[in-house]
Amino acid sequence: MQRAAELIRAGELVAFPTETVYGLGANALDPAAIEKIYAAKGRPPTSPLIVHVDSIEMARSLVRDWPEKAELLARRFWPGPLTLVLPKQPHVPDRLTARLDTVGVRMPSNPIALQLISEAGLPLAAPSANLFSQLSPTTAEHVRDSLGERVAMILDGGPTTVGIESTVLSLAGPDAVLLRPGMVSQAQIEELIGPVRVARSAAEEAAHPSPGMHARHYSPKTHLVLVSGGRLPSSGRGVYLWLDCRAGAAQCIGMPKDTDSYAAALYRILHQVDQEGWDWIAVERPPQDASWDAIRDRLERAAAR
């Protein structure tokens, strides 16, 4: 951990576990280190980075305004998988925020992540530790497979527990705006602060207010298709992910029935079957119930072409 903190302070990249996915960490206040993140991932400049902190006080040092809603949400959901987007302080590098006047901040609940931030003594910019638009990593092995020698060090904390990326909520304007769904649900947020508006997808060529707003994202190398009622592709050999096996799939993998377990397993299983040489991966569309919004968002972007 001390070595990892030294590397961060020296401007290097360190991959580390959070409760959501593994992050590719660098000093959030060092423009040269931030540039290394973009280069390692092949990330477009329109996609901002989320800053990870170890306290509300550290988060407040990065933003110009900390409204009552931010305090309520942070006290309720931090440490945890909720990112708050707020107006940034001048010392937060423009490269980190895609030249927008806002910055996303969150306090992860993984103890390794919190210890690394504390040991380094500074906030960490940390998008998912993988090549841009590909499957996010939920194990250290996934990081090695995707980034290889592009990262100075990987802290192996075992599998992540939440399994998909954080909820992102903007409090930068008069209305609270949900930019990316996650396992902290819109209903949970509204219960605490009142109505939340849902953002539309961002234009590909413009700076995005949140990561994860590109039409195609979170994608395995194998062609992923969403299906309904077990209507599988008519050609090729593939694997089918849902609750019941259907004729036509060479392999069927039963997925968990509850959303928390499904989210925790999704990327792990997609990484696994992506290595098996199938022609396609068919995933049954999740229910339309709001509790499945975050999972449905990830799958729809993974299937986009």
Q: What is the pLDDT of residue 182?
A: 98
pLDDT mean over 171-198: 97
DSSP 290: G
Averaged pLDDT, 263-271: 98
Confidence (pLDDT) at 229: 87
Residue 248 has pLDDT above 70, yes or no: no
Nearest Cα neighbor of 238 from 252, 226, 254, 227 is: 252
Whether the per-residue pLDDT at 243 is higher than 80: the answer is no
Span(s) in the chain for CATH 3.90.870.10: 2-198
What average pLDDT does the structure give for the chain? Answer: 95
- What would the mean pLDDT of 169-192 be, rounded to a whole number? 97
Q: Which residue has the higher pLDDT, 143 or 213?
A: 143
**Closest to 45 measured CA to CA, from 164, 200, 211, 171:** 211
Entry pTM: 0.95
Provide DSSP, 249-266: -SEEEEPPSSHHHHHHHH
| Residue 209, φ and ψ in degrees, nearest 5 | -70, -15
Q: Calculate mean pLDDT across residues 212-224.
A: 90
Q: Is the pLDDT of residue 203 over 70?
A: no
| φ/ψ (deg, to 5) at 213 | -105, 0
Give the pLDDT confidence of 129-139 residue by residue, as tens digits. Answer: 999 999 999 99
What is the largest distance, in Å, between two alpha-carbon atoms of the chain?
58
Summarize pLDDT for 98-123 with one digit per residue, the tens.
999 999 999 999 999 999 999 999 99
Question: Is 2-198 CATH 3.30.70.1290?
Answer: no
Residue 273: the pLDDT is 97
- Per-residue confidence (pLDDT) for residue 214, from 0 to 100: 83
Mean pLDDT of 188-214: 85
